[in-house]
């Protein structure tokens, strides 16, 4: 047996260590991520504490989506509106305009939260799920910890008037990525530009989505705006263009116009300065390795997850991807057994290492065949 190092892919590309250069956005804090690779393309004071305002509603929705997925909640379930929820249906608040005693479906409440940004809908959903908004906020914070939001505390379901409802743009980005990855079907609510609420005792109310990027030619499909007088304007946004998705979060924009303009600038920067390379697709044959004493002489390998890397267009260097294994690999080989390692090297520095698994089972040949092959190997060095 011998160690096999087979370089199978060469890219002339730039990789990692992305520089801000002279680029900046007019926000107190901001971050930009390439969704598929997970790499950060730009950040500005990304761990600074912020009041997430209505971006809080992303987590409010996630809690409901989790319960729907587990079967504990249904889109058709109905909750009764309390006076506590109704009080936020008044002028001066983003509202769905629900009434005390209304029975509203979970689906309508979610659309009221996501599209209309209804604070009243948030409380109605929170109370319907957890009994009180305080208990619901506890669920939100626990979920935040679970998915890696290390600097977040949620104290209500809407994000309004809560000095200890705190997060960072990095954490909001983590939350947004979780939403898109785990709930692609429900995420489609976030790109809807209007919602009509067939309210009780009055004419239907139609409200538009407050996300300004949905109305631009950017292929934006989410996520959520925010505003508080002491935080100013914020936006978690995402675009999906030709299979390339970017997530941006910014807070401390000085105006609605600035929020729209600077968020567009940030996303455009990611599109125009970087490319995405798909090295391997999850659960698809990647590369064959040699097998010793097996009923087949080779076996395909695969990765459990997609492998993407983001590259910078302006500075091209050598990116080398190699399969390394002690080979040929002796049979028997189990399906899903680790049999090789995929190494990603940039400028002679290891930047990624991934397990390559056997795509199928390979059984060992019988004793007589093993004997013949062993003799051939001893005499001729032929495996």
In a domain, residue 193? The reply is yes
Q: How many domains does the chain have?
A: 2
Q: Are residues 6 and 51 in the same domain?
A: no
Q: Decide if pLDDT at 156 tops 90.
A: yes
Residue 187, in any domain of the structure: yes
Say yes or no to pLDDT of 265 above 50.
yes
* Residues contacting residue 347 through CB under 8 Å, at least 6 positions apart: 15, 317, 318
**Strand 274-280 and strand 307-312: pairing?**
antiparallel
Give the residue among 217, 210, 265, 209 at the shortest CA–CA distance from 233.
210
The reported pLDDT for the residue numbered 144 is 98
Q: Single out the residue in 219, 237, 264 at which a domain terminates.
A: 219
Is 54 part of any domain? Answer: yes
Average per-residue pLDDT for the chain: 89
Averaged over 329-357, what is the pLDDT? 91
Q: pLDDT over 90 for what percent of the chain? A: 72
For residues 205 and 289, membership in a common domain is answered with no
- Whether residues 95 and 214 share a domain: the answer is yes
Whether residue 164 is contained in a domain is answered as yes
Selected catalytic residue, list 57, 111, 143, 312: 57
In this structure, the answer to whether residues 214 and 285 fall within a common structural domain is no
Residues 169 and 314 in one domain: no
Q: Assess if residue 257 is contained within a domain.
A: no
For residues 53 and 10, membership in a common domain is answered with: no
Does residue 145 carry a catalytic annotation? no
* The pLDDT of residue 320 is above 90: no
- Exactly one of 14, 37, 54, 94 is catalytic; which is it? 54
**Mean pLDDT over residues 343-371, rounded?**
83
| Residue 57 among the catalytic residues | yes
Angstrom distance (rounded) from CA 274 to CA 101: 52
Do residue 208 and residue 79 come from a single domain? yes
Q: Which of 194, 219, 244 is the last residue of a domain?
A: 219
> pLDDT band at 5, cuts 50/70/90?
low
289 and 214 in a common domain: no
For the domain that residue 143 is a member of, what is the CATH number?
A: 3.40.710.10
* Amino acid 21: pLDDT: 58
> Do 66 and 192 have their domain in common?
yes
Q: CATH no. for residue 317?
A: 2.60.410.10
* 3 is known as an active-site residue: no
- Note the pLDDT of residue 208: 95
In this structure, is residue 232 part of a structural domain? no
Q: Which of 197, 219, 241 is the last residue of a domain?
A: 219
**Same domain, yes or no: 91 and 196:** yes
CA dist list (Å): 323 to 274, 302, 306, 307, 330: 26, 11, 16, 14, 17
360 in the same domain as 320: yes
Reading phi first (left if > 0) and then psi (alpha if -120 to 50, else beta), residue 315 is in beta
Give residue-wise pLDDT tens across range 292-308. Answer: 888 899 999 999 999 99
Contact 373, 293 (CB under 8 A): yes
pLDDT at 10: 44
Same-domain status, 284 and 149:
no
Residues spanned by the domain of 143:
38-219
Spatial CB neighbours of 74, under 8 Å, sequence gap ≥ 6: 68, 106
Of the candidates 61, 94, 95, 117, the residue annotated as catalytic is 117
């Amino acid at each position: 047996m011998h160690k096999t190092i087979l370089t199978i892919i060469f890219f002339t590309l730039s990789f990692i260590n992305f520089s801000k250069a002279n680029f900046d956005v007019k926000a107190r804090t901001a971050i930009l991520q390439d969704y598929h690779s997970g790499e950060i393309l730009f950040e500005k004071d990304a761990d600074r504490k912020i009041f997430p305002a209505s971006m809080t509603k992303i987590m409010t929705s996630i809690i409901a989506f989790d319960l729907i997925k587990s079967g504990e909640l249904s889109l058709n379930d109905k909750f009764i509106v309390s006076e506590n929820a109704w009080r936020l249906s008044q002028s001066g608040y983003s509202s769905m305009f629900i009434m005390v005693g209304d029975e509203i479906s979970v689906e309508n409440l979610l659309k009221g939260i996501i599209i209309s940004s209804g604070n009243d809908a948030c409380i109605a959903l929170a109370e319907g799920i957890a009994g009180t908004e305080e208990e619901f906020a506890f669920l939100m914070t626990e979920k935040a910890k679970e998915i890696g939001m290390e600097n977040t505390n949620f104290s209500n379901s809407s994000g309004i008037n809560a000095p200890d409802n705190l997060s960072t743009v990095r954490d909001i980005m983590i939350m947004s990525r979780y939403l898109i990855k785990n709930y692609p079907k429900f995420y489609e609510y976030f790109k809807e530009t209007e919602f009509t609420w067939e309210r009780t005792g009055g004419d239907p109310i139609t409200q538009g989505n407050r996300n300004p990027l949905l109305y631009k030619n950017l292929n934006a499909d989410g996520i959520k705006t925010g505003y508080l007088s002491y935080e100013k304007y914020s936006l978690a946004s995402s675009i999906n263009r030709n299979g390339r998705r970017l997530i941006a979060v910014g807070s401390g924009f000085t105006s609605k116009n600035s929020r729209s303009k600077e968020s567009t600038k940030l996303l455009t920067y990611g599109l125009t300065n970087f490319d995405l390379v798909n090295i391997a697709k999850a659960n698809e044959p990647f590369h064959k390795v040699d097998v010793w004493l097996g009923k087949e002489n080779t076996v395909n390998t695969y990765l459990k997850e997609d492998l993407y890397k983001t590259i910078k267009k302006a500075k091209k260097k050598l990116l080398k991807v190699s399969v390394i294994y002690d080979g040929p690999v002796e049979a028997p080989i189990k399906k899903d057994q680790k049999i090789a390692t995929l190494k990603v090297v940039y400028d002679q520095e290891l930047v990624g290492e991934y397990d390559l698994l056997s795509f199928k089972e390979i059984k060992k040949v019988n004793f007589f065949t093993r004997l013949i092959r062993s003799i051939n190997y001893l005499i001729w060095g032929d495996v």
